[in-house]
Amino acid sequence: MIKQAREHLVKKLIPFWKGLRDDVNGGYYGYMGSDLKVDPEAVKGCILNSRITWFFSSAATLLGDKSLLEEAAHAFAFMKDACLDREYGGMYWSVTCDGKPADTTKHTYNQAFTIYALAAYYEASRDPEALRMALDLYGIIETRCRDEGGYLEAYDRHFRPASNEKLSENGVMATRTMNTLLHVFEAYTELYRVSGLDQLKKNLCEILDLFAEKMYNPALRRQEVFFDHEYNSLIDLWSIGHDIETAWLIDWGLDVLGDEKMRAKLAPITRDLTDHVYKDAFDDRSLPMECEKGVMNEDRVWWIQAETVNGFINGYQRDPDRPEYLKAAAAQLDFIFQYCVDPREGSEWFEIVDRDGVPCDKPIVQPWKCPYHNGRMCMEIIRRGVDLP
């Protein structure tokens, strides 16, 4: 299905997101409803725009299409000119439609995603300003967004600690989250890959130790999700999509890092996470959202379906004696193209469908709904070169 993934990327995803470009105020429009109407007055999420920057940058590198690099440059300019707080440092949470600060929260998760985007843009463009900006944000995370125990979450504009409702869900308020740690790891891996900065190796190893010793629950064969300051889990929650995403992202990070001691420590965990998701959550064609206190949420969320394909392809490549993973990836991709992709002209993917594939009434574009997961799925299929049965 390499050909199918390339065609979907080139003919569906790329044209859709090019069409969201705002040539008047910069960046990309922040909202499209389920009726396919764009709201040009909607706030522009900085995470949304960083993910768009990453998408066009990575696609430009993969496909060699100069028009994609131009889109990436447009996105980068908006990140630099509107989303970056030049007075106090760091990235805002959101800006108005015309690029003025809206929500000035400084969240570690958001800083990390900008690093991820800037590293990809630097690889595509070789613009030294992008690398300098990424390294500045790395310095901010390391000096303002962590303590001796690891990474913290939310801050106000001046980097004073703030409430973490943005990355807390399910009725808890977390001081530390698996989700933020995962995306700091992802960002640092990408930055290390393009910069070779030696200090990042130390940071990556520290993060891997946290995954192995704090996030991973060997008795339940899953990661815990929300924590207090001392890493006590706050809720009985299996975030299934994050587990399959974590498995392949850590394996990718281990490849980039090249530390065999860390590989020996983490590879058994990534294999276990993949096996658990396959045996106890995958229903032979798609993956549910999460299981809280033993109750499964059967919604099929767009990003989880995409990361399931990546995770099972990775699981097969790491262990070719598990051909069932490749079969699962193929079945998941079939589900995506049959139910998750909106067939309407001028649309992209539905945000959520139910277990039977019936779409829910959700926006097509919003601050969290972006081309990062589904675009990356297509690119991973192409890069890995494993055709699905």
**For domain 2-384, which CATH number applies: 3.40.50.2000, 3.90.1150.10, 1.50.10.10, 2.60.40.10?**
1.50.10.10
Residue ranges with strand state E in the chain: 44-45, 94-95, 101-103, 106-107, 146-147, 150-151, 154-155, 176-177, 216-217, 222-223, 226-227, 237-238, 290-292, 295-297, 300-301, 352-353
Segments making up each domain of the chain, as ranges: 2-384
Q: What angle do CA 119, 121, 122 make, to 5 degrees?
A: 65
- Residues with Cβ within 8 Å of 149's Cβ and at least 6 positions away in sequence, in order, are 176, 229, 230, 231
Cα separation, 380 vs 2, whole angstroms: 10
Quote the pTM value: 0.98
Per-residue pLDDT of the chain (389 residues; tens, 9 = 90+): 899 999 999 999 999 999 999 999 999 999 999 999 999 999 999 999 999 999 999 999 999 999 999 999 999 999 999 999 999 999 999 999 999 999 999 999 999 999 999 999 999 999 999 999 999 999 999 999 999 999 999 999 999 999 999 999 999 999 999 999 999 999 999 999 999 999 999 999 999 999 999 999 999 999 999 999 999 999 999 999 999 999 999 999 999 999 999 999 999 999 999 999 999 999 999 999 999 999 999 999 999 999 999 999 999 999 999 999 999 999 999 999 999 999 999 999 999 999 999 999 999 999 999 999 999 999 999 999 988 76
Cα separation, 43 vs 58, whole angstroms: 25
